[in-house]
Amino acid sequence: MSLPLPSRPPLWSFPLLLLSATSSAQAASIDQATEALIAPVASLFSSLIFFSLPLFGAELPLVVLWLVAGAVFCTVYFNFINVRGLGHAFKLVRGDYAHPGDQGEVSHFQALATAVSGTVGIGNIGGVAIAISLGGPGVLFWMVLAGFLGMSTKFVECALATHYRRQNADGSVSGGPMFYLARGLAERGLPRLGRALGRFYAVGIVIGCLGIGNMFQSNQAFMQFVNVTGGAEVSWFADKGWLFGLIMAALIGIVIIGGIKSIARVTEKVVPVMALLYCSMALLVLAMNAEAIPYAIGAIFQGAFTAEGVAGGTLGAIIIGFQRAVFSNEAGIGSSAIAHAAVRTRQPMTEGYVSLLEPLVDTIIICSLTGLVIVTTLYYDPAFTNGSGGIEMTSRAFERNVAWFPLPLSVAALLFAFSTAISWSYYGLKGWSYLFGEGRLGRNLFKLLFCGFVVIGSMIQLQSMLDLSDALVFVICVPNILGIYLLAPVIKRELKRYHRKLASGEITDYRTRTARPMPSTSATAAPSDRAKP
């Protein structure tokens, strides 16, 4: 995508240029002052939100239990839609039922790419390694199972977001948990509760996006970039986080200034590239480790049910696996439903089906490949997971087979961080607009704020701010899952209606209709046919 160069720097860049003048010593002092201010608050929130119950020697976080319970409910209540709906999901993404005149802003594939870019991030590379180092190979089994269950949660929340989305005066659409909580609960006679939960969700997504979807991504991307360019002792960039952040913020700003359409045009190109790059590397490593694959599969299944050396044994492995999965694909948090709600469709159920593919790609495919690379490496080096964690461990696993693989892995990590940030900017923007209105000035102010935090994230270590944002991101799963329980009958009713339309032909399969030979008649198609979604 080519963009004209501005004749002068855009107005929003001047605060970022001011940030670039901050020295590393000043950054450190800001770091310390901010930590002292935020740390007590972050510690309190984290202890409340991630409160754990001791259970058979393991610690069970209640927020994870809440998310998993919601996933099990959605899977059972919708009769394993995560299995039955996959075929139809692929048809929708392929464009079989797409009509360019439908209400919305992006295609099914663009909506999926934007949502996937928001979930496929640094955690898919480094988070899996941490989970395996803590719980052993068996956590991978439970991670995949949690991803499978999470597909059903995604179906419900994305169908709800599209069903209750709002048409704006400028032709754009806005949707997400804040809208279906407010509008859906109002339909059920709970307008005050709905409005309160909607506002609470919006506040959480705004603050959370500045941490987990912004500063964490830019900070981890900078650290990986420094490692690739020589490390903290050698790299010229080691003390120039401001420069890296400024460049990253400028690139992000160019994309997000155009809204969801601009974001979708980028993600539909970046997501396939980064996914293919990473998966190809992982598959090549697994091919080179072919003799270790039987060992890896055995270790995964054996560790899933007889975990040793893990607090709580098998239960500990289950908790770590489920926790890593829900942290990765965000099923139940409702964030990606904001992107899915922007789709062009007249049938909200279509986006529920499309969203099934998100945990499939994020957790079942990408996280599984990462886990297999690490577990096969354990076959050759049983002590491999000792002494390092996160993306460093994953990088060493790739490097063991191909010495130069850390370089493309870093490229993939940078793409993951960049794409996650632009998607989360949209999530935060919709939360901001829900609270303060859809005015252009307010939207641009938020985009400026978001770009500023990208620079801050690269410059200083705000661990407490990240802890606080993580806590706020995960606490919003409480109203979201509650909304899913209360509004699931609405989706079940709409799903039955949707299938009746499919069976009767009222919903047109444009691929089949195009492939079918046209009758030899001069008559044009009936208006009713053209109007069918």
> What pLDDT, on a 0 to 100 scale, did the predictor assign at position 393?
82
What separation in angstroms does the CA of 216 have from each of 21, 122, 443? 22, 9, 22
Phi, psi for residue 418 in degrees, rounded to 5 = -65, -50
CA-CA distance, 185 to 116, in Å (whole number)?
28
Question: Which domains occur in the chain, in start order?
Answer: 32-50+61-507 (1.20.1740.10)
Single-letter amino acid code for the residue at 445: L
Query: Mean pLDDT for the chain?
Result: 81
H runs (alpha helix) in 5-138: 13-20, 24-49, 62-77, 81-84, 86-94, 108-119, 122, 128-135
Per-residue pLDDT tens for 179-204? 999 999 999 999 999 999 999 999 98
What separation in angstroms does the CA of 221 have from each of 58, 150, 395? 33, 27, 14
The tokens for 349 are 């159920």
* Region 247-254 average pLDDT: 91
* Region 18-26 average pLDDT: 48
CA-CA distance, 533 to 531, in Å (whole number)?
6
The tokens for 490 are 């609405």
> Percent of the chain beyond pLDDT 70?
82
Work out whether the CA dihedral 328, 278, 226, 242 comes out positive or negative: negative
> What pLDDT, on a 0 to 100 scale, did the predictor assign at position 9?
45
CB 275 within 8 A of CB 281: no
At 86, the pLDDT band (50, 70, 90 cuts) reads very high
> What pLDDT, on a 0 to 100 scale, did the predictor assign at position 29?
57
Per-residue pLDDT tens for 339-383? 999 999 989 999 999 999 999 998 899 989 999 999 999 888 887
Phi, psi for residue 165 in degrees, rounded to 5 = -65, 165
DSSP state of 343: B
Single-letter amino acid code for the residue at 278: Y
> What pLDDT, on a 0 to 100 scale, did the predictor assign at position 101?
75
> What pLDDT, on a 0 to 100 scale, did the predictor assign at position 463?
61
* Region 295-304 average pLDDT: 89
Q: Across 106-120, 242-256, 265-279, 480-494, which has the greatest mean pLDDT?
A: 480-494
> What pLDDT, on a 0 to 100 scale, did the predictor assign at position 532?
37
CB 320 within 8 A of CB 153: no
Per-residue pLDDT tens for 263-280? 888 888 888 888 888 899
* Region 111-125 average pLDDT: 82
Ramachandran class of 522: left when φ > 0, alpha when ψ lies in -120 to 50, beta otherwise: alpha
> What pLDDT, on a 0 to 100 scale, did the predictor assign at position 117?
86
The tokens for 181 are 């909580």
| Residue 228: count of CB within 10 angstroms of its CB | 18
* Closest among 396, 397, 384, 390 to 126, alpha carbons compared: 390
* Region 494-515 average pLDDT: 82
Single-letter amino acid code for the residue at 117: S
Per-residue pLDDT tens for 141-176? 988 998 999 999 999 999 999 999 998 887 788 899
> What pLDDT, on a 0 to 100 scale, did the predictor assign at position 6?
43
At 307, the pLDDT band (50, 70, 90 cuts) reads low
Q: Per this entry, what is the length of the chain? A: 533
CA-CA distance, 307 to 348, in Å (whole number)?
43
Q: 185: which residues sit within 8 A by CB, 6+ positions away?
A: 191, 193, 194, 197, 483, 486, 487
| Residue 497: count of CB within 10 angstroms of its CB | 12
pLDDT at residue 526 tops 50: no
> What pLDDT, on a 0 to 100 scale, did the predictor assign at position 237?
77
